Amino acid sequence: MTAKIVVVGSFNMDLTSYMPRMPRPGETLHGTRFQTGPGGKGSNQAVAAARLGADVTFVGRVGTDIFADNAFQIWNSENINTRYVIRDPENPTGVAPIWVEETTGQNAIVVILGANKVLSRQDIDSAAEAIARADILIAQLETDIDATAYALKLAKQSNVRTILNPAPAATLPDEMIANADILTPNETELEVLSRRTLDDIDAAARSLIRRDDQTVVVTLGAGGAQIVTSKNSINKPAIEVQPVDTTGAGDCFTGALAVALGEGKTLEEAVRFANTAAGICVTRPGTATSMPSRQEVDVLIPE
């Protein structure tokens, strides 16, 4: 079956600089290359899901500038439904300057949200019919928090399964957390959201659980992903790769997880699928452009 996924989220134009190492404060370094490309956590997740075979609808805001034109180019090329994307004449498209350390693939990112920040409840209401028809709704934290929380609530009222990728790291209202069936934080995001140190990842993850049927899936990079429920915890290992750029890994994981769940896979199967997709993603530079195809993932799914 084809998964029907609605992504409520951000688009940012990535402005990526590659360098041998990160500069120290006040230091100027010569980088090795620079590239622009489509990004934003929501858009990345939408592209990941579409490339993996899902029927994807995107809900968000962009400006009326050339970066917005770039956004529609990639969405159209991936057959993503953009009926609910608003072109905002008063706010620019979001941008994300990114620094990538070539020796490790690690990155540092600054996000300027622009039009993403003014996504509204009215924008969500306009997409209510599409949300109600979805198998999965995905949300993140690069758009207005009130609108994002409202989207999660609206989805739950329609009995739609919800995934919240709580990134960038932030503390959130209890009701918003409660309306997420699955949360997908990385370790930094888990620490901020739980307000706990990570001496015990399971305990930190369980502190976010507000309902018995909620799950927290903590992404651990090379350490795979930890699936934590109110009663159990299990680690699903990552595939072994040589990372080139880890920027889009979390977005790829969340998009892939939604696809697998929307197709009816179990949570453990879905996490294995998502780990494999994310593993492929980090072997390539860029964010949206690094998302793998379904064929690439299926070939590498461990038995």
Catalytic residues: 251
Cα gap 186→175, rounded to integer Å: 21
- Using alpha carbons, select from 265, 6, 7 the residue that is nearest to residue 134: 6
Q: Is the dihedral of CA 157, 211, 253, 100 positive or negative?
A: positive
Helices and strands in the chain, H and E counts: 11, 13
Q: How far is CA 201 from the centre of its chain?
A: 21
Q: Write out the H or E segment, with its range, that includes residue 13.
A: strand 12-19
Query: Do 216 and 254 touch, CB atoms closer than 8 A?
Result: no
List the beta bridge partners of residue 234: 227
Provide the H-helix boundaries in 1-120: 41-51, 66-77
Provide the H-helix boundaries in the chain: 41-51, 66-77, 121-126, 128-133, 145-157, 174-178, 187-194, 201-206, 249-262, 267-281, 294-300
